[in-house]
Amino acid sequence: MVEKFLEGKGALITGGASGFGRGVAYAFAEQGANLVLVDINQQLLEDTAEKIRKKTGRTVIPLICDVSKSDQVEAMAKQAFKELENVFVLFNNAGIGVSYGRNICRVKEDDWDRIMDVNLKGQWLVAKSLWRKMKAQKFEGEELAGRMINTASTAGMVVDPMIPAYSITKAGIIALTQLLAKSLAPNITVNSIAPGFHVTGVYLDDEEAMRVTMRDGKVKIPQVRIGTVEDVVNVVVFLASPASNYITGHCFPIDGGTADVGVPPHKLKEVEY
Ligand SMILES: NC(=O)c1ccc[n+]([C@@H]2O[C@H](COP(=O)([O-])OP(=O)(O)OC[C@H]3O[C@@H](n4cnc5c(N)ncnc54)[C@H](O)[C@@H]3O)[C@@H](O)[C@H]2O)c1
């Protein structure tokens, strides 16, 4: 992989204050990127921005914005292009989880609306606010004008009855990714990631709370360990790098094999090539 492949490039990360967003922010800055970090948690956001600035010496701009609100997203996008010379990578990642354990017939309308607005509409709004300027960018020696990486979930690949509305938002992100990839090719690649079980803010940084949901769902992880933030960061860095130039529209599970979405091997016998 090319050394410091984000030198001279800007990256915008939503949900940048915590969890995957924060981990990716460090990694992108270490690859030479200047950053705009977007979040609603002001204290944590400023804290994260300051720490990354100190550690890497890069420009790190914290912008408060609720990604579910189109007026805030438009203002944020405008500000981001003012602060950075370009936005080469969007890590479209902010998200929430609600009402664990209520089946699809019992989901409350308020919970449905909130999670659709943040997890699904939010990523659409952010992509929509950035694509035009991203597509017009040119970088010397660079095949692409930009890259988008959306955070889905294994719950969007194999829906989880304990988190039905969340699962629908993440299945939606996989579809959104395919649609954006087709619309923005060949200038911008658009891929999604599907993490499995990783201790972050969505589990209130509480490993035991996460393990309770795993036991409830009888989750089995072939790689016999829970995921780390680093596991996710590694794949996002790959998707932001020239090594992934020929990949667009795809969803990458990062789950130690949990999603189990492959065709069962005995079925393969019936396939004619
Ligand atoms: N942790 C996991 O195991 C896991 C698994 C699959 C998918 N995900 C997804 O990963 C993404 C990142 O979450 P995380 O696990 O790092 O959790 P996290 O809570 O640590 O990070 C999410 C960040 O998004 C911010 N945010 C929430 N609502 C927002 C809004 N309306 N506008 C702007 N920012 C907002 C939060 O303040 C927080 O800083 C989410 O989309 C989540 O659904 C997480």
Give how far Cα 28 sits from Cα of 7, 96, 120, 177, Å. 9, 23, 24, 21
* Closest Cα to atom 41 of ligand 1: 95
pLDDT band at 44; cut points 50, 70, 90: very high
Question: Could you tell me the residue ranges of all domains in the chain?
Answer: 10-257
Which atom of ligand 1 is nearest to 200's Cα? 20
For a substitution probing ligand 1, which of 12, 13, 18, 251 has the most ligand atoms within 8 Å of its CB? 18
The pLDDT value given to residue 264: 57
Spacing of C-alpha 178 from chain mean position = 14
Question: What is the position in ligand 1's atom list of the atom closest to the CA of 166?
Answer: 43
The response to whether residue 21 sits with its C-beta less than 6 Å from ligand 1 reads: yes
Q: What is the pLDDT of residues 106-160, one digit of tens each?
A: 999 999 999 999 999 999 999 999 999 999 999 999 999 999 999 999 999 999 9
Separation of 267 CA from ligand 1 center, angstroms?
37
Catalytic residue status for 166: yes
According to the model, what pLDDT value does residue 265 have?
54
Q: pTM, whole model, 2 decimals?
A: 0.95
What is the best residue among 12, 22, 39 to mutate for testing ligand 1's pocket, by most ligand atoms within 8 Å of CB? 39
CATH of domain 10-257: 3.40.50.720
Name the residue with higher pLDDT: 133 or 98. 133
The CB of 39 under 6 Å from ligand 1? The reply is yes
pLDDT for residue 271: 47
